[in-house]
Chain A
Amino acid sequence: MRLTEGQAGARVLAFGGYQPARVVTNDELAQTVDTTDEWIRSRVGIASRRIAGPDETVADMAVQAGGKAMAASGLSPDDIDLVIVATCTPEVQIPNTAATVARRLGIMAPGAYDMNAACAGFCYALANASDAVRTGTARNVLVVGAEKLSQWVDWTDRSTCIIFADGAGAAVVGPVADPADPPGIGPVAWGSDGDLADKIYIKDRNSFIFQEGQAVFRWATTALAPIALAACERAGVDPKELAAFVPHQANLRIVEAIARRLGAPQAVVASDIVTAGNTSSASIPLALSRMIERGEIGSGAPALLVGFGAGMCYAAQVITVP
């Protein structure tokens, strides 16, 4: 038996993001639930979020973000032979989202699968994509994080409806340009803690998302800084050299608490949640695409990604910004 011929390293060629058109402000939410703009801003750091239209699906948003990432990568659909969609809110269980998204983007007959690691999904999928390129089981991979959390939110529950939102982000992953180049995606530091599986869940198909906010906050502000540092150590990158820190946009207070413990004084800390809300697996690539668009992080700079969420699943890796 033979094995595929591998590549020296993988890298992200480009990111792309998509937000639905509809903006929902805190003041708008305050008209229907007992909350205020000031309370939401101080507790979770969100000023406004985007909500998908009634007929806009997870696949629709994934296609938008994926198309932008592909266009920015300079690759054609023929170059891509694996599509991974990280989502915990697919429209339906069968068929998966990835195969449909691939076809709509003109990617013919790629390997295609959905993956659910909740809000950590994008980092899990990025690790899978990097490994697929390195081992030679794929030439180039389209990785998408896409969520329509609005359809799983109880809009009368002020503890969750102020947080969760809709959107998509994508990355195209391929081999390094020259085998002598350093890798652009570092080793993943990942894991899970099923003991805390009852802290964030959707009980069944007729239920809404539930979150025990304080317990999640404690876990996130305690457990994740060591994971973030482990990812840096495995990549051989000193946190002091990081140009960007892009954790899952769960809550600005969590983002800032982890950042404080990281010791990365040069890093721009992603705060995309302010105008995007918590978009689960979409939040990291969405934040990155917008930070790159705004020129906040330059090409070639090291950025640390940390995904974390229900499960509790977590994954972190250092990447080189495309």
Chain B
Amino acid sequence: MAMTEQDILEGLGEIIDEVAGVPADQVTPEKTFVDDLDIDSLSMVEIAVAAQDKFGVEIPDDQLKDLKTVQDVIDYVRRAGVTA
């Protein structure tokens, strides 16, 4: 069963709320992690780890640094989900 963009966004919202304490309703696709959501590189690693548990998609460190916005992560998860 393919995840929709909305599914991934909701899942990410839950993860970011838990890891970084940012309310899920503030996690919208256009937001940047560093500037808009005040999420640092270590929290990004935690988000990647939680995303792997939740979506079954591994995001290695060298890919993680290129994911700047919430939409970037959604796209990454969807692409990886399709090829997996």
Contact = CB atoms under 8 A, between A and B. Distances in A.
A193 B49 CA distance: 18
Interface string A186-228: 0000000000000000000000000000110110011000000
A217 B45 contact: yes
B1 interface: no
Residue picked from B40, B41, B45, B49, most chain A C-beta under 10 Å: B45
A257 B46 contact: yes
Interface string B43-54: 001101100000
Interface of A is mostly: helix
Contacts of A218: 45, 48-49, 61
A42 B40 CA distance: 9
Interface string A228-260: 000000000000000000000000010001001
B82 interface: no
B56 to A, nearest CB: 14
A257 B53 CA distance: 14
A43 B42 contact: yes
Contacts of A253: 42
A62 B48 CA distance: 40
Contacts of B48: 218
B49 A214 contact: no
Contacts of A214: 41-42, 45, 61
Nearest to B18: A260
A217 B46 CA distance: 9
A221 B61 contact: no
Interface of B: 18, 40-42, 45-46, 48-49, 61
